[in-house]
Amino acid sequence: PQPKKIINDPFALVSEEMKSMVKSIGALIGSGHPTLNRVASYYFEAKGKNVRPLIVLLVSKSLAEIPIEERTRIAINSSDINDQEEFKGVSSAMSFAGADPEHSITPLRILYGINPKMILNPLSKPFEQSVDVKRLDEENGILPRQRRLAEITEIIHTSSLLHDDVIDIADSRRGRPSGNIAFTNKMSILAGDFLLARASVALSRLRNNEVTELMSTAIANLVEGEFMQLKNTVLQPHLNEIDNAGETKRIPEPTGRVPLKVPEYTLQQPVSISHEENVSAAFEYYLHKTYLKTASLMSKSARSAAVLSGCNDELIDHCYNFGRNLGLCFQIVDDMLDYTTNEEILGKPAGADLKLGLATAPVLYAWQIKPEIGPLIARKFSEPGDIEIARAAVVEADGVSKTKKLAEKYRDAALEHLRCLPESDSRSALEFLANAVVTRSK
């Protein structure tokens, strides 16, 4: 008997797509200015982890395993379409499903995501024969627009890194001087803005309003997460109204009369609460910040991939929740590595969070059993010796292994949502990815 084929690299499933992504991103971010070109492409030149595009591509491929009838999101609930108006309804359903009605010379053949049994002939004859509804434009189970989504996601992420390294006054990234050091703060910020603008152009070309809204909200969430991190509210998290759903309030549709409301964290009167309540509120604040700064982009891009594949709402939610839990897990591990490893391995500064005044999971666990750490957190470890005391408290409280357990909890939740997708090589690759996020060393 043939020995069972062992897949050494589960990501080989999408290696072609990953290779072509580099080229496509290059084409998306080219400008007329040579220096801008250098800064904008700088982080793409060094190898990153590519977690976000892997999620998008592998989620897309996993969903392609589901027969179209089961995946279907839209059912056209009409038995005889025979006038223009109703045909328009079909067209908009088609475009909602991701097909392009304008270029549908034979609409039925390029349709996907619509239950074929429900598709009606626009010339009024109900469609009776079962038809092989093929996704003519898919390759390796992945649609071109899903590949583009992977590129857009990576560009948005890279743009946020350029800004992040300015905010964090970082000196290295991906084993090289960070953008702010190599080019100046000003150029890093501008190049980040430029990348964001190019990602927006590519996003609008997907011609899918739902995906545009999701990805734009993810960008807003990145900024909201950074703002939550700027403010020292760890000790008084009750000063902030935390949106537990983890979602930014949707901005209202413009009506021309109602002024646009910007979501805000409203200040409330301080109340005195117990140490336990204070710690648990700080964790809540920390996790919400983590969702916004990291998990939002992962979850909303996974959701967008599912939307583009024409999935039903249930599957879309599983993909979203997979991304959400994996994203929380990813950032918690990132915060742990800041305590456990060094710059040589990470390719970026280690031990940076305390120096930046940030209280992440390891130090929150220390505070939980050592209330005297509270004042240090409150003053952002700004007094001589604070950082050393905090580090020792983390060791004493076993903060690192508690943080790892917390990350594993989110990984397990991610795996649970993944199990709602059909078994396949691409689903196994996503499982592998979820485990690798926890066991990674950089």
Q: Where do contacts with Mg ion occur on this chain (CB under 5 A)?
A: 164, 168
The binding track of 161-190 with respect to ligand FPP, each residue x by CB under 6 A or -, is --xx--xx-x--------------------
Of positions 289, 293, 303, 318, contacts ligand FPP by CB under 6 A: 293
Q: Nearer to ligand FPP by C-beta: 4 or 47?
A: 47
Is the Cβ–Cβ distance between 105 and 57 less than 8 Å? Answer: no
CB of residue 226 to ligand FPP, shortest distance in Å: 4
Is the Cβ–Cβ distance between 133 and 72 less than 8 Å? Answer: no
CB of residue 168 to Mg ion, shortest distance in Å: 4
Of positions 159, 208, 304, 309, contacts ligand FPP by CB under 6 A: 159
Q: Should residue 348 be labelled a site residue for ligand FPP when binding is judged by CB under 6 A?
A: yes
Q: Which of 83, 189, 260 is nearest to 179 (CA)?
A: 189
Q: Which of 266, 332, 322, 262 is nearest to 293 (CA)?
A: 332
Residue 37 CB contacts under 8 Å (≥ 6 apart), including other chains:
29, 30, 31
Which option in ligand FPP, Mg ion, none does residue 411 bind, with CB closer than 5 to 8 A by kind?
none
Amino acid at 174: R
CB of residue 270 to ligand FPP, shortest distance in Å: 28
Which option in ligand FPP, Mg ion, none does residue 237 bind, with CB closer than 5 to 8 A by kind?
none
Q: How far is CA 207 from CA 7, 200, 254, 413, in A?
A: 37, 11, 20, 32
Residue 208: count other Cβ atoms within 10 Å of its Cβ. Answer: 21
Is the Cβ–Cβ distance between 195 and 29 less than 8 Å? Answer: yes
Of positions 160, 217, 240, 309, contacts ligand FPP by CB under 6 A: 160
CA distance 396 to 73: 52
CB of residue 132 to Mg ion, shortest distance in Å: 50
CB of residue 282 to Mg ion, shortest distance in Å: 18
Which option in ligand FPP, Mg ion, none does residue 158 bind, with CB closer than 5 to 8 A by kind?
none
Looking at residues 378 to 437 of the shown chain, list those that interact with ligand FPP (rule: CB under 6 A).
none
Q: Nearer to Mg ion by C-beta: 285 or 320?
A: 285
Give the bridge partners for 177, in sequence order.
Answer: 172
CB of residue 219 to ligand FPP, shortest distance in Å: 5
Let me know how many helices (H) and strands (E) the chain has, helices first.
20, 2
Token reading at 165: 């390294």
Q: Nearer to ligand FPP by C-beta: 222 or 418?
A: 222
Q: Nearer to ligand FPP by C-beta: 223 or 378?
A: 223
193-197: Cβ within 8 A, 24+ apart: 193/159, 194/29, 194/31, 194/36, 194/40, 194/159, 195/29, 195/40, 195/155, 195/156, 195/158, 195/159, 195/162, 196/155, 196/156, 196/159
Q: Nearer to Mg ion by C-beta: 164 or 386?
A: 164
The binding track of 215-234 with respect to ligand FPP, each residue x by CB under 6 A or -, is ----x--xx--x--------
Q: Nearer to Mg ion by C-beta: 222 or 376?
A: 222
First-last CA distance in the chain: 40
CB of residue 43 to ligand FPP, shortest distance in Å: 11
Q: Nearer to Mg ion by C-beta: 164 or 224?
A: 164
Residue 244: count other Cβ atoms within 10 Å of its Cβ. Answer: 9
**What is the contact surface with ligand FPP in residues (CB under 6 A)?**
159-160, 163-164, 167-168, 170, 192, 196, 219, 222-223, 226, 293-294, 334, 348
